[in-house]
Structure 1
Amino acid sequence: MEKIFDITIQNRKILYKILKRTPHELLFEIPEGYRNNIWWNIAHVVATQQILVYKFSNLPARIDDSLVQKFRKGTLPDISPTDEEIDHIGAFLLSTAEWAQEDYENGVFKEFNEYKTSTKVILRNIEDALAYNLYHEGLHLGVILSLEKILLKEGAF
């Protein structure tokens, strides 16, 4: 499990750099052919990790539930977030990954509600959820890099 946590932290550091270096107006731009933007993808990985790891373990999210609901699967970007919301998500990128590792190492995850993902992967325990979350975050990093590439072609960066 150590490697899963290590890769997750590295991925989150990349997402944090993207969040900080991207001009705000570009964080929220949705290129033609896309349904979401860089900002939504970053916030979505934070929200989804809370659902996969904590909610399915019958534990409360470690972040405000309104953020989880706003960026969960099936949501779409709405109005531009406040600077405070951007700062919160930025801080949560690393803290939520670190908290999950600490909670795992401290044996906090005692229960798990089996869940079949949209990709037909069945999660049966916390280890499955942590592994799937890493896969999920990698997919969204790929989407973000694709969004950046499109925005570069459009001369937005």
Structure 2
Amino acid sequence: MTKAIEIIKMPRLMILKGVEGLTLDQLNKIPAGFNNNIIWNLGHMIAAQQGVCYKRAGLPAIIDDEFWDTFRPDSKPGRFFDENDLAKIKGLFISTIDQLEIDVATKPFPNYSTWTTRYGAELSSIQEAVSFIPFHDGFHIGYITALKRAI
């Protein structure tokens, strides 16, 4: 495992373990003062990584369009997420990072278009995109931690 992928994967494994005992009601609860919930944040981390790494490079995402639409940037939880949704998120949470590692090592990402994130970071390559993912994931892990305390 490359160091960059390890830096993404380890906190993801930690946060999965941290939400392990929560019920579906707890994962779906939107406490006062928040506009999303724990399960949405988990799904969003997957969708955002797919958008930043694949869609911005003009490549098809690993996730399907429905998953993308549900968890894409600027979306909000629009429904109750059930056991099937949770199982899908858990399955994709690490597998998409494993696939990213393979793809970065074996596929060219020649059409990665330079763009500026909402946080002011300019990304011009897949390597820069991979370097950005820990920041974005950390932001949402912070929200998950705060949500967990609020439920």
Superposition TM-score, scaled by structure 1 size:
0.90
In the alignment, does 2:134 pair up with 1:146?
Answer: no
Matched residue, 1:114: 114
Structure 1: 5+ residue runs without aligned partners? 152-157
Separation in structure 2 between the aligned mates of residue 26 and residue 113 of structure 1, nearest angstrom: 39
What SS is found at the alignment partner of 1:32? coil
Count of aligned pairs: 151
The aligned amino acid for 2:124 is R
Matched residue, 1:137: 137
How does 1:8-157 map onto structure 2 within 5 Å? 8-151=8-151
RMSD: 1.4
Q: How much does 1:49 deviate?
A: 0.5
In the alignment, does 2:6 pair up with 1:6?
Answer: yes
Deviations 1:54-112 (A, max 9, x none): 00111000111210111111111111123212111110001000000010111342320
Structure 2: 5+ residue runs without aligned partners? none
Superposition TM-score, scaled by structure 2 size:
0.94
Separation in structure 2 between the aligned mates of residue 24 and residue 143 of structure 1, nearest angstrom: 17
Q: Is the 8 A contact 1:48 1:72 kept in 2?
A: yes
The aligned amino acid for 1:135 is F
